[in-house]
A and B are shown apart, each in its own frame.
Chain A
């Protein structure tokens, strides 16, 4: 099967895709985009989270053919060239990255949260990130990172 879609703003086309493959597999193994991680393949961990037409989904649960003609945005599409996205920078600055396996999914999910609501409460942050598991950080540093982005955004609009 041929799968053509837009990924991070660019048209992409790959051939010989097996119909039962997931979008995650296609991204990683066929499109050269290994940012999204494969940790569970059952929707439990969120490390494969990507935008599919503006909604964050587990790419391991999207059949490759379901992405045909759609707009996909992965963690690779967050930065502007060498300039990290503020959410990425905040994760680094807050020490929210240890082994880094969960990070791509958390970045995409946090990005989505803050696009929809620039000032979420702690409860809303925890709820929004409930589908992203991290074995290393104990989540507190991740909360710190999200707060850091929120403060920076608020500072930027106040100034």
Chain B
């Protein structure tokens, strides 16, 4: 086995182009499990932890650019308050030891339907910056996931960063599991209000072959909220109920060891109702939304 140790992003792209089969390793919290259990014997491993350029994050106006190698630990410590749903999702990952090491880029690389950042990235309308020696491309999160543990990366490409808008609006993430730590989601749901466009975006986790949005539920709210963005009136119970029903209908869950399809459908409706209620209450108070001032 080769162990590649690029120390700059440019060098990493060169190495990946020369050896497209090289498996990137960041926090190793997915890759090393596979190697320890002999589920994977890569010909070469490419360590990304020495590339400072992608280990941090920066703010460019209202854009937050998150390096693929940013750990959950740093997301929680440094971005709290700015990207609420992503931070909530990060807090639920594994244990402190896993969060000290695991990265957002690794979650996207693994592209597990149960990965916790995916619903938050979907609800936040994230853009993934993917790069190779051939150039940089920006892929909307809607086009990133292709199948079970499959994403849209070409063999010579690496995930450079993830871009989110910090001015969007209130956003939440909620996850169902058997305990508070170290739990792979039975199902999860994220919701983001985007008052500027009058849109609500959603993300469903662990209840379909890929993370996905609940499109019908989003369209329903787009119609129903038209006047409410301005009045900020309370949401009717029936509206919230219907949103929950449509959100759950957007999933295509299976029975597995973590839960039945029926349980997932039921709990998704609950999570959808709750996250909508929390986010709308924040919006009514004008919390975490620059749009609050604009609309008034």
Give me the interface of A with B, judged by CB distance under 8 Å: 1, 18-20, 22, 41-44, 46, 49, 55-58, 60-63, 65-66, 68, 109, 127-128, 130-132
Contact yes or no, B47 A63, CB < 8 A: yes
- Identify which of residues 32-46 in chain B touch chain A, using a CB-to-CB cut-off of 8 Å: 32-33, 35-37, 41-42, 44-45
Contact yes or no, B35 A20, CB < 8 A: yes
Whether B101 is near chain A, meaning CB under 8 Å from some CB there, is: yes
Contact yes or no, A19 B45, CB < 8 A: yes
Contact yes or no, A55 B73, CB < 8 A: yes
A126 to chain B, nearest CB (A): 9
| Count of chain B residues with a beta carbon within 8 Å of a chain A beta carbon | 31
B4 to chain A, nearest CB (A): 9
Whether B296 is near chain A, meaning CB under 8 Å from some CB there, is: no
Whether B226 is near chain A, meaning CB under 8 Å from some CB there, is: no
B11 to chain A, nearest CB (A): 15
| Neighbouring A residues of B94 by C-beta, 8 Å | 43, 131
- Identify which of residues 180-200 in chain B touch chain A, using a CB-to-CB cut-off of 8 Å: 180-182
| Neighbouring B residues of A43 by C-beta, 8 Å | 29, 32-33, 94-95, 97-98
| Neighbouring B residues of A127 by C-beta, 8 Å | 96, 180-181
Whether B208 is near chain A, meaning CB under 8 Å from some CB there, is: no
| Neighbouring B residues of A55 by C-beta, 8 Å | 73, 100-101
User: Known contacts A1-B3, A43-B32, A65-B5; can you find 19 more A-B pairs with CB under 8 A?
Assistant: A18-B1, A19-B44, A20-B1, A42-B37, A43-B33, A43-B94, A44-B182, A61-B32, A63-B25, A63-B35, A65-B45, A66-B25, A66-B28, A66-B47, A66-B49, A127-B96, A127-B180, A131-B95, A131-B182
| Neighbouring A residues of B28 by C-beta, 8 Å | 61-63, 66
| Chain A to chain B: the 8 pairs with minimum beta-carbon distance, closest first | A131-B95, A130-B181, A19-B1, A19-B3, A41-B36, A61-B32, A65-B3, A55-B100
Closest to A105 in B: B97
Whether B223 is near chain A, meaning CB under 8 Å from some CB there, is: no
| Neighbouring B residues of A62 by C-beta, 8 Å | 28, 32, 101
| Neighbouring A residues of B42 by C-beta, 8 Å | 20
Q: What CA separation (Å) do A119 and B98 show in the bound complex?
A: 23
Contact yes or no, A63 B33, CB < 8 A: no
Q: What CA separation (Å) do A24 and B153 show in the bound complex?
A: 31
Contact yes or no, B101 A58, CB < 8 A: yes
| Neighbouring B residues of A66 by C-beta, 8 Å | 25, 28, 47, 49
Whether B27 is near chain A, meaning CB under 8 Å from some CB there, is: yes
A129 to chain B, nearest CB (A): 8
Whether B60 is near chain A, meaning CB under 8 Å from some CB there, is: no
B33 to chain A, nearest CB (A): 5
| Neighbouring A residues of B44 by C-beta, 8 Å | 19
Q: What CA separation (Å) do A131 and B35 show in the bound complex?
A: 21
B77 to chain A, nearest CB (A): 11
A-B contact pairs, 16 of them (CB 8 A): A19-B44, A20-B1, A41-B33, A42-B36, A42-B37, A43-B94, A43-B98, A56-B100, A58-B101, A63-B32, A63-B47, A66-B25, A68-B5, A109-B96, A131-B96, A131-B97
Known contacts A22-B36, A44-B182, A66-B28: does B98 contact A58 (CB below 8 Å)?
A: yes
| Neighbouring A residues of B5 by C-beta, 8 Å | 65, 68
Whether B236 is near chain A, meaning CB under 8 Å from some CB there, is: no
- Which one, A19, A56, A61, A132, contacts B2 given CB within 8 A? A19
Q: What CA separation (Å) do A130 and B36 show in the bound complex?
A: 22
A57 to chain B, nearest CB (A): 5
